[in-house]
Amino acid sequence: MAVLLDTEGARSLAFRLQQNIRQVIVGKDQAIELMLIALICQGHILLEDVPGVGKTTLAGALARSVSCSFSRIQFTPDVTPSDVTGYTIMNMSTGKMEFKPGAVMSQIVLADEINRTSPKTQSSLLEAMEERQVTVDGTTHALPQPFMVMATQNPVEFAGTYPLPEAQLDRFLLCVSLGYPTVAEEVDILERYTSAGQPPLSQLQPVCAAQDITNLQSLLPQVYSSPELRQYIAEIAARTRQHPMLSLGVSPRGAIALLKASQAYALLSGRDYVLPDDVRQLIRPVLSHRIQLTPEARMKAVSPESLLDEMTAAVAVPVKRRI
């Protein structure tokens, strides 16, 4: 049975989650909003930045706020696929094979420093991210719902990193960079982490249950997107496949991700319909990690974001039709 669309209730729940996470994360309102968009879309988020800016804390704050099971995988070169997905082992007392769940069998999974492990181990997450299941020794195991992977990665120029393959990047709904805090924000952080007896994250209380998130996710298909708006998204995606400075454009999966993220953004804004502004707000975080620059573009220090801005500006914004 479908849940009736309640935009005000959805907005209220999102506001409570944002306020709760802000008790731990200072000055990163956009990152928090994008994380909630990924959660509503049943998508995954890639947090890319230097160590120590709060990527792990952000994931933990979300898990505590929604009262979900949480696991952290610290990726290193010696982590194996079975550490992620699980394995089967013989129970000597019963003589039967038993499945031992891996770290991915949680509702919110933090894949910490995902680009510090081998490509083989990175790829063990693909089935979980796309199909919400893992297959071990021929047996399929469903993942708990809601399910979300929050992966962190250090910049690729850092030592000991393995660049994520294009197929893996395409599974992430959003890519977000937290950045360093301002001086005022850092003073606030120092105050919070020195005046309290315990770290702020350990004191965070849940504001909703996992079922509330599942209900919120079920509202997404009811958010209206006009044919003109879908045409707008398709034209932007098509331009990325034709641009001379791109060797890889946006896939259909990327166009779908942009539409879904725009629907979630509208829902968080208390609307049951998508505006072109919603799409434009999300083009960078949804599409920038899905396109690949040509060697010439990299030599000229062209950024994916600047190319996306250029292509978006060249597409006519849909105008609401008169009735």
Residue 165 pLDDT = 81
Q: What number is the average pLDDT over the span 151-174?
A: 78
Q: What is the pLDDT of residues 8-40, one digit of tens each?
A: 888 899 899 999 999 888 888 999 999 999 999
Q: Both tokens of residue 186?
A: 């850092």
Distances in Å between the alpha carbon of 110 and those of 45, 150, 190, 253, 320?
A: 10, 5, 25, 23, 41
3-state secondary structure of 293: strand
How far apart (Å, rounded) are the C-alpha atoms in residues 73 and 59?
12
CATH no. for 223-313:
1.10.8.80
3-state secondary structure of 150: strand
Looking at per-residue confidence, does 45 or 164 come out higher? Answer: 45
Could you tell me which of 111, 181, 124, 188 has the C-alpha nearest to residue 153?
A: 111
Residue 160 pLDDT = 57
Residue 3 pLDDT = 52
Q: Both tokens of residue 305?
A: 């974001």
Residue 1 pLDDT = 41
- pLDDT-derived band at 162, boundaries 50, 70, 90: confident
Residue 236 pLDDT = 97
Give this prediction's pTM: 0.90
Could you tell me which of 45, 29, 67 has the C-alpha nearest to residue 212?
A: 67
> Over 60: is that where the pLDDT of 158 sits?
no
CATH topology of domain 7-218: Rossmann fold (3.40.50)
Percentage above 70 pLDDT, the chain: 94
Strands in the chain per DSSP E: 45-48, 70-74, 86-91, 96-101, 108-112, 133-136, 139-142, 148-153, 174-176, 246-248, 292-293
Number of residues assigned to the chain: 323
How far apart (Å, rounded) are the C-alpha atoms in residues 116 and 160?
6
Q: What is the pLDDT of residues 104-127, one digit of tens each?
A: 999 999 998 888 888 888 888 888
Domain boundaries, the chain: 7-218, 223-313
Q: Report the chain's mean pLDDT, rounded to a whole number.
A: 88
Q: What is the pLDDT of residues 205-257, one digit of tens each?
A: 999 988 999 999 999 999 999 999 999 999 999 999 999 999 999 999 999 99
> Over 70: is that where the pLDDT of 156 sits?
no
